Amino acid sequence: MEGRRAVRKLLLCKVLALGLGGSVLAVGPAGCSNDPYPPAEGKKVLYAALGEDPHGLDPVQAGDTLSGGIVAQIYDSLYEYHYLKRPYELKPCLAASMPQVSDDGLTYTIPVKQGVRFQDDPCFAGGTGREVTAEDFVYSIKRLMDMGNEPRGSWLLKGKVVGLDAWYDESVERAAAGRKMDYGRPIEGLNALDRYTLQFKLTEPFQQLKYALEMSYTAAVPREAVEYYGEDFVNHPVGTGPFRLKEWRKRWKLILERNPTYRDDRYPSEGEPGDAEAGLFEAAGMRLPIVDEVHNTIIGEAQPAWILFKQGYLEGSGISKDHFEEAITPEKELTQEFMRKGVSLTKFPEMVVYYVAFNMEDPVVGANKALRQAMSLAYDTEWRIEHFANGRAISAQGPIPPGMFGYAPDLRNPYKQYDVERARQRLAEAGYPGGVGPDGKRLEITYDIGSAEPAARQSALAFARDMGEIGIQVKVVTNTWAEFLKKTIDRRLQVFSVGWILDYPDPENFLQLLYGPNKAPGPNRSNYDNPEFNRLFEQMKAMEDGPERLAIIKRMVDIVVEDAPWIPSIHTVSYILRHRWVGNAKAHAMTGGYLKYRDVDVELRQRLRREWNRPNYWSLTAILGVLLAMAMILAVFRRAAPTGGP
Amino acid sequence: MLAYVIRRTLYTVPLVLGVCLFTFLLFNAVFSPRALAIQELGQHAEDEAIRDLIHKRGWDKGVVFNKQAEGLRKLTDTRFVDHMQKLLLFRFGRTQKTHEDINRKILLGMVPSLTLTVPIFIMGLLLGISLSLFVAYFRATYLDLGAVAVCVGFMSISILVYIIVGQLLLAQHMRLFPVYGYAGGIHAGRFLLLPVLIALLKGLGGDVRFYRTILLEQIGQDYVRTARAKGLGERVILFKHVLKNAMIPVLTRTVLAIPFLFLGSLLLENFFGIPGLGNMTVEAAANGDTQVMAAMVYLGALLFALGNLLTDISYTLADPRIRLR
Q: What is the pLDDT of residues A394-441, one digit of tens each?
A: 999 999 999 889 999 999 999 999 999 999 999 999 999 999 988 889
Could you read off the pLDDT of B211-257 as tens digits, one per residue? Answer: 999 999 888 889 999 998 998 888 888 888 888 888 888 888 888 88
Asked whether the whole model's pTM tops 0.90, one would answer no
In chain A, what percentage of residues exceed pLDDT 90? 73
Find chain B residues with C-beta within 8 A of A513's C-beta: none
**3-class SS of residue B220:** coil
How many angstroms separate the CA atoms of A57 and A234, rounded?
5
CATH architecture of A45-310+579-600: 3-Layer(aba) Sandwich (3.40)
Task: Please state the rounded mean pLDDT for residues A511-533.
Answer: 91
Cβ(B215)–Cβ(B128) below 8 Å = no
User: Which residue type sits at A602?
Assistant: V
Cis peptide before A260 (omega within 30 of 0): no
- Which positions in chain A touch B46 (Cβ < 8 Å)? 154-155
Confidence of residue A638 (pLDDT cuts 50, 70, 90): low
The predicted pLDDT at position B200 comes to 92
Q: Give domain B106-287's CATH architecture.
A: Orthogonal Bundle (1.10)
Q: Does B39 sit within 8 Å of A481, measured CB to CB?
A: yes
Note the pLDDT of residue B15: 85
What is the average pLDDT value for chain A, to the nearest integer?
90
Percent of chain B with pLDDT over 90: 27
Confidence tier at A344 by pLDDT (50, 70, 90): very high
Check CB contact under 8 Å for B176 and A300.
Answer: no
Higher pLDDT, A94 or A151: A94
Asked if A300 lies within 8 A of B270 by C-beta distance, the reply is: yes
pLDDT of residue A17 exceeding 60, the answer is no
Which of B32, B47, B102, B141 is the best substitution to test chain A (most A C-beta atoms within 10 A)?
B141
Contact A285/B at CB under 8 A: no
Position A14 scores a pLDDT of 54
Query: CB atoms < 10 A from the CB of A557, how many?
Result: 25
Residue A28 in this model has a pLDDT that exceeds 60: no
Which among A299, A482, A639 has the least Cβ separation from residue B180? A299
Q: What's CA B303's distance to the chain center, in Å?
A: 9
Taking residues B52-71, report their average pLDDT: 76
Over residues A493-509, the mean pLDDT reads 91
For residue A79, what pLDDT is reported?
A: 97
- Mean per-residue pLDDT over chain B, rounded: 86
Sequence ranges of the domains in chain A: 2-34+614-640, 45-310+579-600, 352-574
Q: Is A303 close to B164, i.e. CB distance below 8 A? A: yes
Which among A374, A415, A422, A373 is positioned nearest to A395, based on CA atoms? A415
The Cβ of residue A496 has, within 10 Å, a number of other Cβ atoms equal to 23
How deeply is B178 buried, as exposed, middle or buried, from its count of CB atoms within 10 A (0-12, 13-18, 19+)?
Answer: buried
Q: According to the model, what pLDDT value does residue A515 have?
A: 94
Contacts of B39 in chain A (CB under 8 A): 481-482
Mean pLDDT across the stretch A440-463? 90
Per-residue pLDDT tens digits for B278-309: 999 988 888 778 889 889 989 998 898 888 88
A599-600 and A473-478 strand pairing: unpaired
CA distance A198 to A134: 5
- A198 has pLDDT over 80: yes
Residues 7-46 of B with CB under 8 A from A: 32, 34-36, 38-39, 41-46
ipTM: 0.88
Give all strands (DSSP E) within A55-122, no chain letters: 79-81, 90-92, 100-101, 107-111
Q: Does B173 contact A at CB distance below 8 Å?
A: yes
* Low-confidence winner among A325-329, A531-535, B74-78 (lowest mean pLDDT): B74-78
| Confidence grade of residue A8 (pLDDT, cut at 50, 70, 90) | low
- In the CATH scheme, what is the homologous superfamily, with its name and number, of domain A352-574? Dipeptide-binding Protein; Domain 3 (3.10.105.10)
The residue ranking higher by pLDDT, A254 or B147, is: A254
Cα–Cα distance for residue pair A513/A26, rounded to 1 Å? 59
Domain spans in chain B, listed from the N-terminal domain onward: 106-287
For residue A245, what are the contacts with CB-CB under 8 A and spacing of at least 6?
A57, A74, A236, A237, A254, A255, A256
Q: Is B188 near chain A, with CB under 8 Å? A: no
Tell me what pLDDT residue B182 has: 93
**Burial of A394 by CB count in 10 Å (0-12 exposed, 13-18 middle, 19+ buried)?**
middle
Binary contact (B193, A486; C-beta < 8 A): no
* Interval A18-36 mean pLDDT: 57
pLDDT of residue A485 exceeding 90, the answer is no
pLDDT, tens digit (0-9, with 9 covering 90-100), for A591-603: 888 999 999 999 9
Nearest CA in chain A to B173: A616
Q: How confident is the model at residue A15 (pLDDT cuts 50, 70, 90)?
A: low
Q: Contact A187/A100 with Cβ under 8 angstroms?
A: no
Task: List chain B residues with CB under 8 Å of A481.
Answer: 35, 38-39
Q: According to the model, what pLDDT value does residue A3 have?
A: 46
| B206 has pLDDT over 70 | yes
Condensed to tens digits (0 to 9), the pLDDT of residues B83-142 reads 888 888 888 888 888 889 999 999 999 999 999 999 999 999 999 998 898 888 888 888
pLDDT (0 to 100) of residue A18: 54
Among the ranges given (A289-293, A442-446, B53-57), the one the predictor scored with the smallest mean pLDDT: B53-57
Query: What residues of chain B, 92 to 121, have a C-beta less than 8 Å from chain A?
Result: 94, 97-100, 105
Residue A80 φ/ψ, nearest 5 degrees: -145, 160
**How far is Cα A613 from Cα A621, in angstroms, rounded to an integer?**
17
Nearest CA in chain B to A302: B271
Q: Supply the pLDDT for residue A29.
A: 45
Residue A494 has a pLDDT of 95
A478 φ, ψ (degrees, to nearest 5): -95, 130
